[in-house]
Each structure stands twice: as structure tokens, then as C-alpha cells.
Amino acid sequence: MLLTADTLLTGRELLRPGWIEISGDRIDAVGAGAPPRVADGALGGVTVVPGFVDTHVHGGGGTNFSTAARTDTSTAVDFHRRHGTTSLVASLVTAAPDDLLHQVTGLAADVRDGLLDGIHLEGPWLSTVRCGAHQPALMRDPDPAEIDRVLEAAAGTVRMITIAPERHGALAAIERIVDRGVVAAVGHTEATYDQTRAAIAAGATVATHLFNAMRPINTREPGPVIALLEDPRVTVELITDGVHVDPALYRHVSRSTGPDRVSLITDAISAAGMSDGTYHLGSLAVEVVDRVARVAGTQTIAGSTATMDHQFRFAVKHSGLDRDGALIAAVRQASINPARALGLPATGLFAGGTADLVVLDTDLAVTGVLRQGAWVLTPNV
């Protein structure tokens, strides 16, 4: 299959016009200008980008990953795929030990079957002071035996674990997690600057939704945000849904860290794609009003109702760069960087790569999604 488009971003360069040839689930060739033969699909005035990679998402389309039920997982994954997410890591919130084992065991089968690309444990080893939409009564210090049980149940499918560095035993836990080939992230934390630096030295390489559920910056105690921003080994997640971070913060972080360290995430819950109403995130009730999710009866934000195409458009609109520069940066942040940060297969449109791509119209709305060489959403050609 040979496709042409007026604009094609590979993740490495911008081609205008561009073409891409696909055989099975792989990309055979990519080029600029006239294609080597008559195209099978002339997409016209669209922008083609690599498939989006969401490494922090709890559900969507009315269902949660925490149920660990195949039907619920399939519903959420199918919903996000139609919005351009071709690689998805399922996030789990804080749960009791037996519940966590059940969830991980169920989702591990979904990873092995190719439905998911991994599991992210956002808890239970977090700070009760910065619990956000997690159940504080279930939070606990990291226990080596529990970590081993969970990772053994996951059988290599856990990609990332978020931990608060100030918890007793946290640094040893980070080392243990990293030694098992899992990415350690810092988040939901009241840690000091020095405690965060110690976590990075122990092997933590991701900041879980930077700024949110974190001790804020103070003039005499810079806290975790500054420690995470200033270390080049750390990839920082940002929830660019227009609710969690101000556009000015997004611009500042993108400029100060450079092109390779920002990872856009949705942190989406089951309410993504649904109407306002009452939902659940783990055991907590969540109220959604005007598409903003909050823990019921509070003002605490509880994840988002966004999709990756929304996050991508936010990034392009608020980057402060010209259109082409904004598109190039957003592709790296929505696809290349998150995949690299979690050790997923390299994304991007290049010969030999997986045939995952998204077709966007002039307003950057999704009109086509190709995953592993098959159309999830077929564009008009």
C-alpha cells in the first residue's frame, strides 16, 4: 500500500509533499516529492503523523482498566485507538494488595495478546499528602516482597511504576524496580529537592504528570519539580488538556527541557468520550462537570476526559512556535518521546518501522488511523 499526503511528519523530518509505502505491518519506504509509482491512496491536503503513544491512561469510553475485564479493556482501547493512540499503557490506581495482584494478572494477559503495550502502576507507594484521586487509606510504604509478587504476576508486562521518594524504603524500591527492567517514576509526592535528586540517582527517569499532585516550587525549597526538570535523564509527563497545566507552563517546560524530554499523556479515566455524570476511578467516585473530572464532593481533579488528539492540538496551538515547528515538536512529545521513555518499540515513520500512523485534517482532527498496517479508522481517499 502506497499513500501520499501533502504533509508527512516522520518524527525526524517534515516532508511536503510526502509518501509512505507499507507492506503488512511494516513500513517499506518513506520519501518526499513524487512517489515511485501511482499511489493506492492519495490522501491530499492532510497531515500524516506517527501513531500517538499514551503511557498514562486509566480508561475511556465508559470503562476502567482497573476491572481487569477483557471486555472493559477492549472498549477503552478501541475508543482511544479511534482518536489516534496506536500504543497504550494501562495505568492502575492505588489498590489493596490482593486487588492489585488481580488487576495486574488480568491486564498482563491483555499485554501478551497485543491489546495493551504494558502496565503502569500509579500507586500504591505514594504520598497521602499528595494523594489526588487515590484512596489514601490504601497507600503504603513499598515492601520488597510485595513488589516482587506484583512483578512476578505481571511476568514482564509492567513498564512503569510511580513512587513517592519520601516513603520509607522508597530508594531501595526504586533500585529494585529498575533492576527488574521496569521504569521508575516520581509522582504523587511531597518530596524535597534533595529527596527527589536521590530518587533520580537511584534510577528514576520519569516525572509522573509534572506539577500535578506534587509539592509546589518554593523560593527556599525548590522541591521535586525543579529537581526533575533540571536532570537531563528525566522525561516529564504533561497533561495538556487545558485543565491540569496552563499553556504558559507547557511552553516553559518544552523550551527549558528541549525536544526530547516532554511526554504528552491523557491521564484519561472512564469518562473520556462520555457525557457529564458520575464515574469511578478505582474505588473513588468521580463527578464530571463540563468535561472536568473531580473527586466527588471536592475540587480535587481526578484524571482527565481527554484523548491524545486533543493533547496534540493543545501542544501545537500553545507551543509559541510557527506551525511547522509546533507540529515537529508535538510529534516528538506525543509519539517519539513517550515510547523511548518506557522502552517501547521505536515509533516514527521510517523504513523497517511499525506501520502506525494518524491522518489529520487541516484542523488536526483525526480522519484516519492505521495500526500495524490495518485501518482502525479509514480516511476518505
Binding residue ranges for Zn(2+)? 122, 188, 209
**DSSP E strand stretches across 248-283:** 262-265, 277-281
| DSSP string for residues in 21-64 | EEETTEEEEEEESS-SS--SEE--S-EEEEPEEEEEE-EETTEE
Question: Which are the contacts of 258, defined by CB distance < 8 A and separation ≥ 6?
Answer: none
In the chain, where does DSSP find H-type helix? 70-81, 97-112, 144-154, 170-179, 193-202, 223-230, 247-257, 308-318, 323-331, 337-341
The annotation places the binding site for substrate at: 133, 212-213, 220, 244, 301-303
Q: Are strands 41-42 and 2-5 parallel, antiparallel or unpaired?
A: parallel
Judge whether 315 and 240 are in contact, CB under 8 Å. yes
Nearest to 56 by CA among 139, 10, 116, 135: 116
CA distances 114 to 41, 61, 76, 86, 117, Å, are 27, 19, 14, 11, 7
- Of 72, 117, 231, 267, catalytic: 267
Whats the size of the chain, residue-wise? Answer: 381
Judge whether 250 and 314 are in contact, CB under 8 Å. yes
φ, ψ dihedrals at 292, nearest 5°? -105, 125
Angle 283-151-156 from CA coordinates, rounded to 5°:
115
The reply to whether omega before 124 is within 30° of 0 (cis) is yes
Q: What 3-state DSSP class applies to 124?
A: coil
Map grid coordinates 480508561 to a residue: 59
The annotation places the binding site at: 122, 133, 188, 209, 212-213, 220, 244, 301-303
Other residues' Cβ atoms within 10 Å of the Cβ of residue 380:
11
Active site residue 260: no
Which residues does the annotation mark as catalytic? 267
